[in-house]
Structure 1
Amino acid sequence: MSNAKIQVVSLLILLNVNLFRLSFGNKDDASTTLTLSTLTTSPLTTTPTDNIRFDEYEENNEEVYDDIGTDPLSTNITTNTTTTIEVPIYIRKPCGFTKYCVKHEECGSRTGKIIIELDRPENYLCHYLETCCEESEIKKSPSPREVNSANNQCGITNVEGLYMTVKSSGNETSFAEYPFVVAILDSASNPICNGVLISHTVVLSAASCFPPNETMIVRAGDWDLLTDNEIVPHEDRLVKKTIVHKKFILSDFLYNLALAILESAFPRTRHIVPVCKYDDLGTSILNTSCIAVGWNVFKYAKFPPERNIVFKMDVDTTKTSKSDWDGSIKSSVSLSRRYNFMGSPLICPNERNQYFVVGIWSYMTGEKNQPVFANVTKNREWINEHLMRDGEF
């Protein structure tokens, strides 16, 4: 066999090994290096494989691919000289003979509000925020959705969601329906608590959410914590300083409130909006039909869920009771122990449907699994004192 044929056979064997590793290896591996004794510098091509799926990545300068995945894999092929060839391997998840899974807005001429039916998946091969699209209908450069806002009002919502409405038999909210809810993450970006944005630089949450001397991150504008396939991206900010209520007692969850001051402000957008505080109420009257909004934080889940969407729970404040110690609000609703909405805001609307924060989810009682909220209204002087001292308002 000639040297040229030996080189070709060796190359094909190594490429097959590499593709096998891609199919069954870690999806986070960004590249694989193949080393040959001799190799001509000719481009290589691959075909899509059915069991590889990645997140969205940026467009290539020469050819645009609207794949769903992490950064495209590239194979570094090294010769016995100093030449290194970058060979991109673009992989889309197929869902038919000439169809691929893409975001809804990347398929065809869809421009209206997207309807997501959680109880009836459109195609089990694709993520629930994707659609199975003919290759010829995949947009090369989908237009970004406009989210900037000049509205300075607090507590406003996006009724039935921003650009996307969810149909479900459960209590899931639609995308950015309550744009003031934020997730609190640890340094590894694992969600540990909820919070509520009370300004573009300050988050109100439970004091028990902030371990001392830990790097914390606040994420705003997110909806499903287990995917980045939302129609517009979220924003992350580092916590610069945490202010814990001076009367906080961890063992009894008394005065379980804290302020997180951010290193930089969140932008003013339609999917990131501060909630209203009681001092903003003026002559308005709050409705007694309130809701608690946030994510279920699965700290010790044996089988993590496929999605973790912002939930809402109705709370009738006329049926709540208040603690004599710190004024904490106990709901009459009993929940399953598998729910953990620590730090979630209890919010009530006024007659103009602006939402005001009145409580922060502190803990659940042991006997009836009833959520107890730290009383924000009673502690508004403490909140305002520190915000004015730190120049945040």
Structure 2
Amino acid sequence: DDQGCGWRNPDGVGGFRMTGDVDGESKFGEFPWVVTVLKISKEKKLLYYNGAGSLIHPAVVLTGAQVVTEDDLSVRAGEWDSKTTKEPLKHQQRNVQSVIVHKNYQKRNMWYAVALLELASPFKMEPHVGVVCLSPAGIRPPSGTHCLAAGWGKTSFNTQQYQNILKKVEVPVMSRKSCQTALRTTRLGGHFKLHRCFTCAGGVHGVDTCKGDGGAPLVCPLPDEQDRYIQTGIVSWGIGCGQNGIPGVYMDVSFLRPWIDMQMRNMGYDDSTYTY
């Protein structure tokens, strides 16, 4: 089904109604591009949850550099409720073959915290497994745009116990200027400068923008197409999220797009899968 990137399933997939909008839970297959990045422990062959990511090509995942560890990694697509296999369509899992982390990544301040994971074999596109569109270079959604972050919460992705159902949270885009001003009221202090690799969203009192995990995508609606989304951010960091107007900070995909395109070409792919 080659209908292009970025299609959300607002009513879910497969007529699966185990839950409605309970506590910000997504519906099964609502965000087909959201994947989990798992760490494979050598001794026990257990899987631990490292973070989230997004599918930008059937064989390539976009995520945060902080999600990448020295361990062997595996990626799961089409996951929704990690506690059950009763989902109408099964998840798919692929091992990571190669990892590209931005050469300017700085762990201390999270500059350029972006990575691409190339999979050993591509995911099969299904109603609940799909590719997201990416922001074009230099084009950001206007501030106030209502966007969505989705993720699983920061608990261990062990055999049994992990935050089970994919959560979603709606956050408004905040201008860089307002964001920098807000962040200067935190422990970052009055001289804090927001690096141009970042973009901000959230800051609505009581809305927890930390539900999205490291590496999880922030997506915004395409203005002229209902239910179609572009990824504008990658969850990076937040300070006391959901408190007193402090926004969440994301990697700015429009700033990183030229780097992403270049790495894709180096791997022998092109940008057609995530370009709308």
TM-score range, shorter chain: 0.7 to 0.9
| Alignment deviations for residues 353-384 of structure 1 (CA, whole Å, 9 cap, x no partner) | 31111100012225857421111111101110
Equivalent residues of 1:287, 1:349 under 8 A apart? no
Match of 2:184 in 1: none
Aligned pair partner of 1:162 in 13, 16, 34: 13
Q: Which moved more, 1:366-375 or 1:189-198?
A: 366-375
Structure 1 position 326 matched with structure 2 position 179: no
Q: Which whole-Å CA distance do the structure 2 matches of 1:311 and 1:275 have between them?
A: 18
Q: Secondary structure at the match of 1:361?
A: strand
TM-score, normalisation: structure 2: 0.78
Match of 2:43 in 1: none
Q: Which residue type is aligned with residue 317 of structure 1?
A: V
For the structure 1 residues 340 and 315, does the alpha-carbon distance in structure 2 shift closer, same or farther, using more than 3 Å as the test? closer
Match of 1:231 in 2: 88
For the structure 1 residues 289 and 160, does the alpha-carbon distance in structure 2 shift closer, same or farther, using more than 3 Å as the test? same
Q: RMSD between aligned alpha carbons?
A: 3.0
Larger Rg: 1
Match of 1:371 in 2: 248
Counterparts in 2 of 1:10-21, with a 5 A limit?
Answer: none
Counterparts in 2 of 1:164-179, with a 5 A limit?
Answer: 164-165=16-17, 166-179=19-32
For the structure 1 residues 254 and 154, does the alpha-carbon distance in structure 2 shift closer, same or farther, using more than 3 Å as the test? same
Match of 1:181 in 2: 34
Once the two structures are TM-superposed, the CA of residue 268 in structure 1 deviates from its matched residue by 1.6
For the structure 1 residues 342 and 262, does the alpha-carbon distance in structure 2 shift closer, same or farther, using more than 3 Å as the test? same
Structure 1 position 265 matched with structure 2 position 142: no
In the comparison of the two structures, how many residue pairs are matched? 240
Q: Which whole-Å CA distance do the structure 1 matches of 2:80 and 2:123 have between them?
A: 16
Equivalent residues of 1:255, 1:326 under 8 A apart? no
For the structure 1 residues 240 and 377, does the alpha-carbon distance in structure 2 shift closer, same or farther, using more than 3 Å as the test? same
| Alignment deviations for residues 241-285 of structure 1 (CA, whole Å, 9 cap, x no partner) | 111111110011111111111111001211111000123999x99
Structure 1 position 308 matched with structure 2 position 164: yes
For the structure 1 residues 287 and 355, does the alpha-carbon distance in structure 2 shift closer, same or farther, using more than 3 Å as the test? farther
Equivalent residues of 2:59, 2:120 under 8 A apart? yes
For the structure 1 residues 327 and 191, does the alpha-carbon distance in structure 2 shift closer, same or farther, using more than 3 Å as the test? same
Structure ranking higher on relative contact order (CA contacts 8 Å, 6+ apart) = 2
List alignment gaps of at least 5 residues for structure 2: 41-45, 181-192, 271-276
| Alignment deviations for residues 90-145 of structure 1 (CA, whole Å, 9 cap, x no partner) | xxxxxxxxxxxxxxxxxxxxxxxxxxxxxxxxxxxxxxxxxxxxxxxxxxxxxxxx
Tell me which stretches of 4 or more aligned residues in structure 1 moved more than 3 Å: 279-282, 284-287, 333-340, 366-370
Match of 1:291 in 2: 148
Equivalent residues of 1:184, 1:191 under 8 A apart? yes
Match of 2:214 in 1: 342
Match of 1:108 in 2: none
TM-score, normalisation: structure 1: 0.56
Match of 2:48 in 1: 190
List alignment gaps of at least 5 residues for structure 1: 1-149
Aligned pair partner of 1:216 in 73, 77, 99: 73
Aligned pair partner of 1:380 in 257, 260, 263: 257
Q: Which whole-Å CA distance do the structure 1 matches of 2:109 and 2:53 have between them?
A: 20
Equivalent residues of 2:143, 2:174 under 8 A apart? no
Equivalent residues of 2:152, 2:211 under 8 A apart? no
